[in-house]
Amino acid sequence: MDLRSARAALQIARRVAVLTGAGVSAASGIPTFRDAQSGHWARFRPEDLASPEAYAADPELVWAWYAGRYRDVLAAQPNPAHHLLVRLEQQKGAGFFLATQNVDGLHARAGSGTRGGRLAELHGNLALARDEVTGEVFPLPDPAQLSLPPLSPAGHRMRPNVVWFGEYLPEEALRAAQQAFAQADIALIIGTSAVVYPAAGLARDTLLGGGKVIEINPEPTDLTRLASFSLRETAERGLDLLLTEHLNEH
């Protein structure tokens, strides 16, 4: 498959499933999880800040880390890659499914999940917190009003609503993603290293179901050899090459 045939296949596809990783948000200035560990945080391992054990040992430390990341993502804006995926959703409607490994909320802020398709935030969202007693999820206040650790309306301590090391992905979201990818005519895998399971297995679900996989990533990944077509581009440039021409026809 070359670029021309990839464009054509995407244009006629009735069911499109998309998986995005950190590369989609790079142009918005969002650092990757490990890149965010700079300055004061450079002395911590990821497991020191993003695991149930770390939170149980020092919830104030963990919340200080997440509050900083929350401020960073609120200051960022969706980039052209996010907006192009919204336009693709508008074209495909109910045949569109977007699963993201990102916790920055930029897909939702761009409008994904509001144009007839579905958005699944597989690893959670930094702008939300979960009541430790009831499990209810609430939006965090503006960073200027955020006290740590935050409390729910019921007065219970809340934890970041993200998936930590050693935790399972949300069962309903993962099941929906697996079904969407298994039924997809085309899977778009964008800006992810394709090494973190179970999300990394979604492209294989599409291939097993007889669909095609298109990868967009500046560097080769473990998925590249299996992909029907692989674009060595950034997320925004790769999506522009794939989509702009036929999206402008609608």
- Report which residue type is found at 7: R
CA nearest 190: which of 8, 17, 41, 1?
Answer: 17
Report helix, strand or coil for 73: helix
Calculate the alpha carbon distances from 210 to 18, 186, 199 in Å.
16, 9, 19
SS3 157: strand
Residue 213's nearest CA partner among 129, 205, 221 is: 205
- Catalytically annotated residue among 82, 83, 123, 250: 123
CB 131 within 8 A of CB 42: no
The C-alpha atoms of residue 195 and residue 19 are separated, in whole angstroms, by 13
Instruction: Indicate left, alpha or beta for 119 from its phi (over 0: left) and psi (-120 to 50: alpha).
Output: beta
Between CA 188 and CA 212 the distance in angstroms is: 9
Cα–Cα distances (Å) from 240 to 3, 78, 216, in that order, read 12, 15, 11
123 catalytic residue (yes or no) = yes
Determine the length of the chain: 250
The residues annotated with a catalytic role in the active site are: 123
